[in-house]
C-alpha cells in the first residue's frame, strides 16, 4: 500500500514583469536575495530580482499562485475623475441639532462603516451603491442622490465635506490559459534541470488548457465632494491591486491597510488618480514572519482626502497576513497568528527511516542545489524517499512510525501558537516601529489596547487534540508590551478549557469574558504593567460577545444566554447550548465582586443581531439612556412539540426583524419599543437560503435631534426617539441580483 504526504501540493510560478517607467529590472526568479538594512530595523532589497527570489524562497503551502496579475489588465490606470453636473440649486445650510456618530474603539479614531451622517444628511450603502438622504428634519426626509458606478462600495468615511467610499472593482476572465499542469511534485518546468532529478521531474509534466476563470479584484478608495449633497463630485481615487484589510480616519488623514498575495508581480501595484506610483526595490521591506505560513505584501497608505495631489505616506512590507488591526491615534498594530515551530513534510519520514543509503542521500543533495523554493524542494525530497520506501519489506512498520512522528510534530506546532505584532508609527510618514510576539491568538481588535505607551493584549491558546491521549486544554492570558514590544507583564492560566469571547480595556483595567458552559467575567488590574492581576470575577449563564462601557464602573454585555447540554441519561456534558439574545448590565464599582445588576433575554435559539459580530451596529448613548440593536427574533412555538418531548435544544421560528430600542441605566434595562422594515411574509422566508433577500433587515441605527433613524438596504425610516411614532420613510434603490450584480431599479421616495 502506497502512502502519500498529508499536505497538498502548491504550484508557484513567477514570471518576468516589465512596467515602463516604474520597474526597470527584468525579473529573474533564480536570483539570490541579498537584503540590505534600511536603518529602521527592517531589511530591504537591491533589485526586483531579489524581491522575486525572496518570495520564491519563502513560499508556503498556503499560497496558491494562479491567475495572471496585472499582465491582463486588472487595474485601469488611465481612469479620470468624473464630476456629476446638476442644475439643481444646492440645499441651503440649516442649523443641525446633535447627532450620533459611528461606534468606534478609540476616541478620535474613526472607523469606516456602511452608514455615516453629519446631522443633516445620511450617507448609506445599498447593494454597493451610495445613497444620500436628506434626513433632517425627519418630516422632510427624501432621497437626494444615488451614486451607482462600476465600483461595489462597502464602507464610508465622512469628513469636512468629503465622502471617502471604499469598494471593489471586480473583473472576471473566462479565457483559457495554457500552462503546465504540475504533477504531485508541484514544480514548474522552467525551474528544473535538463538532466538528473530535474529531468525526471520534467518527464512527468504535461500541458493542457486551464478553463478556470481568472478573478481579479481592485480595492478602490474614491473621494467625493459632498459640500452639495444633491450633486456629489468625484474628486479622485486611490486604486490598489489587492484587498482592504482595515481603514481609519485620524485628524483628516485616511490610513488604509491593504494586502496582496500575488506572486506574479515583483511588487504591489497602486495608483492615485490613475497615475501609477513608482516604487523602487528599496521601498519594499520585510519584517520577521514567525511561522506565518508565507509572505504577502502589506501596504499602509496615508492620504489626505481633501487634497489627493499631496504625496501620500506609505510603508510596504512583506509579512504575514494581518488578521486583526488595532489603531491608536499615533500607531497601527497589525497582528497575525503564527507558529514558532515548523518542519518540512518529508522530515517525519527521514526520522522514521534513520540513515539513508548513499544513492538516496545523493539525490537529496542534488535536489537541495536546485534554484527553486524550499517548498518545492521538500515535495521532491518526499517523492524520492517514498520511491525508496516502496522497495523495503518493513514499509508498513516505517509508515506506522511516520504517523506517530507526524502526530508529535503536529502537537509541537500547535503548542507553539503565537500572536505576532508588527507596529507602525503614524504621522507625516509611516514608519516601522518593531515586532513583538506573545503566546496564543487574539480574537479581534478589542483584544488589543494601547495605554500610557503600553500595548495590552488578551489571547487564547487553543485546545490541542492528541491521538489516544487527553487533549491539552485551552487557556487564556493577558500580556503587556512596552513601546519596543518587549513583554514586561503577563497574567496566564485564566479559565482553563474556556475561550475568550469578548474583551474590553478601560484605562487601568481589562474585562474579559470567557465561555464553555458558564460566562466568567474577569476584572483585571493593569495599573502596574509589570504585574497584571485578577481583581474579581463573576460567573453567570451565557456569554457576552461584546462589552461596551456605560461609565468607568458599569458595562453592557451583549451576547447569548445558554443552557447546559445533557446526554441521553440527563447528565450535563460540560458544554452549553446558546439560546436567546442576552443583554447584561455589569457593575464593577466593587471590582473584587462584579455584579450583574440587570439582564434581559430576547427570544430563543436562533435569535441574532448584527451587533454580535460588528460593533458598528451597536448604538448607545449614556446621556440619553438609549440603546438600539438590530435584532432578528426567533421564538419556539410550544405547539409544535408534543407533550413530553424535549423542545429545549431546538431553534425557534423567525417572528420579528428590526431595531429593538431600550432604556438603559446602571441598574436597569427595559424595552422602549421596536421598529421594523419587514413584513410577516418575508419573515417566514428568512433562513440560511433566504437571508435579507428583500433588503428589509435593519442593520444600522442613528439619531439626529429627537428622531431615531433605522437603516436597511431598502429603507431609511425615522421615528420619534421617545415615543417611536413613525415620522417618515425613504425607499432606497434596490433590486434582485443576477450573477453577483444588482439589476437596476427605479428610485422611489415615499
In order, the DSSP letters of 606-647 are T-B-GGGT-GGG-EEETTTTEEEEEEEEEE--GGGS-TTS--
Torsion angles phi and psi, residue 364, rounded to 5? -60, -40
pLDDT in the model for residue 457: 98
pLDDT in the model for residue 749: 36
Render pLDDT for 355-392 as a digit per residue (tens, 0 to 9).
889 999 999 899 888 877 677 788 888 899 999 998 78
Average pLDDT over residues 105-115: 98
pLDDT in the model for residue 470: 72
> Would you state the cell numbers that stand for residue 556, as one nine-digit string?
453592557
Render pLDDT for 611-632 as a digit per residue (tens, 0 to 9).
999 999 999 999 999 999 999 9
pLDDT in the model for residue 40: 54
Q: What percent of the chain has pLDDT over 70?
A: 75
In terms of residues, how long is the chain? Answer: 750
Render pLDDT for 451-483 as a digit per residue (tens, 0 to 9).
999 999 999 999 887 665 677 899 999 999 999
Region label for 745, one of left (φ > 0), alpha (ψ between -120 and 50) or beta (otherwise): beta
Q: What is the mean pLDDT of the chain?
A: 80
pLDDT in the model for residue 566: 73
pLDDT in the model for residue 466: 67
CA triple 246-248-249, angle to 5 deg: 160
pLDDT in the model for residue 576: 84
pLDDT in the model for residue 288: 65
Torsion angles phi and psi, residue 715, rounded to 5? -135, 155
pLDDT in the model for residue 344: 79
How far apart CA 457 and CA 503 sit, in angstroms, is 9
The CA dihedral of 355, 188, 181, 403, to the nearest 10 degrees, is 20
pLDDT greater at residue 84 or residue 683: 683
pLDDT greater at residue 409 or residue 118: 118
Across 260-274, 382-396, 488-502, least confident range: 260-274
Rounded CA Rg of the chain: 28
Average pLDDT over residues 645-659: 83
CA distances from 400 to 5, 343, 396, 464, 465 (A): 13, 19, 6, 22, 19
Q: Is the pLDDT of residue 341 over 90?
A: no
pLDDT in the model for residue 725: 98
**Cell numbers 481603514 correspond to what residue?**
247
CA distances from 538 to 201, 515, 520, 587 (A): 62, 12, 5, 10
pLDDT in the model for residue 704: 98
pLDDT in the model for residue 6: 38
Handedness of CA 91, 92, 98, 104 (dihedral sign): positive
pLDDT greater at residue 88 or residue 708: 708
> Would you state the cell numbers that stand for residue 297, as one nine-digit string?
505584501
pLDDT in the model for residue 378: 82
pLDDT greater at residue 23 or residue 478: 478
pLDDT in the model for residue 62: 34
How far apart CA 103 and CA 97 sit, in angstroms, is 19
Average pLDDT over residues 107-134: 97
Across 2-6, 103-107, 418-422, 677-681, least confident range: 2-6
pLDDT in the model for residue 346: 82
pLDDT in the model for residue 26: 32
> Averaging pLDDT over each range in 18-22, 48-52, 360-364, which range is the top one?
360-364
pLDDT in the model for residue 745: 43
pLDDT greater at residue 266 or residue 416: 416
> Would you state the cell numbers that stand for residue 194, as one nine-digit string?
535538463
Average pLDDT over residues 683-695: 65
> Averaging pLDDT over each range in 342-346, 349-353, 656-660, 692-696, which range is the top one?
656-660
Across 556-560, 567-571, 582-586, 709-713, least confident range: 567-571
Across 313-317, 396-400, 609-613, 639-643, least confident range: 639-643
pLDDT in the model for residue 68: 24
pLDDT in the model for residue 686: 66
> Averaging pLDDT over each range in 12-26, 327-341, 372-386, 529-543, which range is the top one?
529-543
DSSP per residue over 91-154, as a string? PPP-----B-----SSTT-EE-BSEEE-SSEEEEEETTEEEEEE-SSGGG-EEEEEE-SS-EEE
Render pLDDT for 160-206 as a digit per residue (tens, 0 to 9).
999 999 999 865 443 333 333 333 333 343 344 444 443 443 343 33
Confidence label for 350 from pLDDT (cuts 50, 70 and 90): confident
Confidence label for 679 from pLDDT (cuts 50, 70 and 90): confident
Average pLDDT over residues 195-221: 49
Amino acid at each position: 500500500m502506497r502512502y502519500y504526504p498529508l499536505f497538498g501540493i502548491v504550484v508557484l510560478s513567477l514570471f518576468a514583469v516589465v512596467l515602463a517607467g516604474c520597474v526597470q529590472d527584468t525579473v529573474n526568479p533564480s536570483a539570490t536575495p541579498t537584503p540590505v538594512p534600511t536603518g529602521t530595523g527592517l531589511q530591504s532589497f537591491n533589485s526586483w530580482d531579489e524581491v522575486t527570489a525572496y518570495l520564491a524562497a519563502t513560499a508556503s503551502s498556503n499560497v496558491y499562485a494562479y491567475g495572471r496579475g496585472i499582465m491582463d489588465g486588472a487595474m485601469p490606470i488611465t481612469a479620470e475623475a468624473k464630476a456629476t453636473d446638476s442644475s439643481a440649486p444646492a440645499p441651503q445650510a440649516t442649523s443641525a441639532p446633535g447627532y450620533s456618530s459611528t461606534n468606534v474603539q478609540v476616541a478620535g479614531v474613526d472607523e469606516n462603516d456602511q452608514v455615516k451622517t453629519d446631522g443633516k444628511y445620511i450617507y448609506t450603502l445599498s447593494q454597493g451603491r451610495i445613497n444620500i438622504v436628506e434626513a433632517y428634519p425627519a418630516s422632510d426626509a427624501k432621497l437626494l442622490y444615488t451614486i451607482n458606478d462600476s465600483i461595489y462600495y462597502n464602507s464610508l468615511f465622512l469628513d469636512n465635506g468629503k465622502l471617502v467610499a471604499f469598494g471593489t472593482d471586480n473583473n472576471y476572465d473566462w479565457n483559457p490559459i495554457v500552462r503546465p499542469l504540475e504533477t504531485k511534485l508541484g514544480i514548474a518546468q522552467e525551474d528544473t534541470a535538463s538532466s538528473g532529478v530535474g529531468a525526471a521531474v520534467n518527464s512527468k509534466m504535461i500541458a493542457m488548457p486551464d478553463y478556470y476563470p481568472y478573478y481579479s479584484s481592485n480595492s478602490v478608495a474614491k473621494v467625493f465632494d459632498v459640500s452639495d449633497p444633491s450633486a456629489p463630485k468625484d474628486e479622485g481615487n486611490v486604486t490598489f491591486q489587492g484587498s482592504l484589510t482595515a481603514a481609519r480616519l485620524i485628524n483628516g488623514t485616511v490610513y488604509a491597510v491593504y494586502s496582496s498575495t500575488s506572486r506574479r508581480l515583483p511588487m504591489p501595484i497602486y495608483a492615485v488618480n490613475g497615475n501609477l506610483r513608482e516604487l523602487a526595490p528599496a521601498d519594499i521591506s520585510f519584517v520577521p514572519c514567525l511561522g506565518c505560513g508565507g509572505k504577502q505584501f502589506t501596504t499602509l497608505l496615508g492620504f489626505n482626502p481633501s487634497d489627493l495631489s499631496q504625496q501620500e505616506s506609505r510603508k510596504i512590507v512583506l509579512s504575514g497576513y494581518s488578521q486583526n488591526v488595532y489603531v491608536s491615534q499615533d500607531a497601527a498594530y497589525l497582528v497575525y497568528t503564527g507558529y514558532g515551530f515548523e518542519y518540512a513534510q518529508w522530515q517525519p519520514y527521514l526520522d522514521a527511516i534513520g540513515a539513508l543509503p548513499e544513492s538516496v542521500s545523493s539525490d537529496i543533495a542534488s535536489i537541495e542545489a536546485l534554484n527553486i523554493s524550499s517548498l518545492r524542494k521538500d515535495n521532491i525530497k518526499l517523492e524520492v524517499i517514498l520511491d525508496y520506501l516502496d522497495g523495503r519489506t518493513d514499509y508498513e512498520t516505517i509508515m506506522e512510525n511516520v504517523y506517530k512522528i507526524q502526530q508529535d510534530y503536529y502537537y509541537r506546532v500547535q503548542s507553539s501558537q503565537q500572536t505576532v505584532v508588527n507596529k507602525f508609527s503614524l504621522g507625516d510618514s509611516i514608519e516601522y516601529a518593531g515586532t513583538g510576539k506573545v503566546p496564543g491568538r487574539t480574537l479581534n481588535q478589542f483584544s488589543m489596547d494601547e495605554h500610557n505607551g503600553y500595548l495590552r493584549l488578551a489571547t487564547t491558546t487553543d485546545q490541542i487534540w492528541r491521538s489516544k491521549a487527553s487533549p491539552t486544554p485551552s487557556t487564556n492570558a493577558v500580556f503587556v508590551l512596552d513601546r519596543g514590544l518587549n513583554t514586561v507583564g503577563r497574567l496566564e492560566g485564566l479559565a482553563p478549557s474556556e475561550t475568550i469571547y469578548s474583551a474590553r480595556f478601560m484605562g487601568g483595567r481589562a474585562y474579559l469574558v470567557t465561555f464553555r458552559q458558564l460566562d466568567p467575567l474577569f476584572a483585571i488590574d493593569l495599573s502596574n504593567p509589570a504585574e497584571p492581576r485578577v481583581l474579581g470575577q463573576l460567573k453567570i449563564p451565557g456569554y457576552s460577545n461584546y462589552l461596551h462601557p456605560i461609565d468607568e464602573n458599569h458595562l453592557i454585555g451583549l451576547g447569548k444566554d445558554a443552557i447546559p447540554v445533557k446526554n441521553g441519561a440527563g447528565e450535563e456534558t460540560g458544554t452549553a447550548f446558546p439560546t436567546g439574545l442576552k443583554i447584561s448590565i455589569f457593575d464593577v464599582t466593587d471590582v473584587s465582586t462584579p455584579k450583574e445588576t440587570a439582564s434581559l433575554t430576547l427570544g430563543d435559539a436562533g435569535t441574532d443581531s448584527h451587533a454580535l459580530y460588528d460593533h458598528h451596529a451597536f448604538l448607545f448613548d449614556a446621556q440619553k439612556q438609549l440603546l438600539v440593536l438590530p435584532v432578528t427574533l426567533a421564538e419556539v412555538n410550544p405547539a409544535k412539540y408534543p407533550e413530553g418531548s424535549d423542545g429545549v435544544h431546538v431553534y425557534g421560528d423567525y417572528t420579528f426583524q428590526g431595531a429593538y430600542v431600550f432604556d438603559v441605566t446602571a441598574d436597569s434595562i427595559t424595552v422602549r419599543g421596536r421598529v421594523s422594515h419587514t413584513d410577516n411574509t418575508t419573515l417566514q422566508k428568512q433562513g440560511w437560503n433566504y437571508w435579507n433577500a428583500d433588503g428589509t433587515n435593519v442593520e444600522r441605527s442613528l439619531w439626529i435631534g429627537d428622531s431615531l433613524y433605522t437603516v436597511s438596504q431598502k429603507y431609511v425610516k425615522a421615528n420619534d426617539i421617545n415615543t417611536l411614532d413613525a415620522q417618515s420613510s425613504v425607499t432606497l434603490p434596490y433590486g434582485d441580483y443576477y450573477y453577483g450584480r444588482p439589476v437596476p431599479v427605479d428610485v422611489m421616495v415615499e
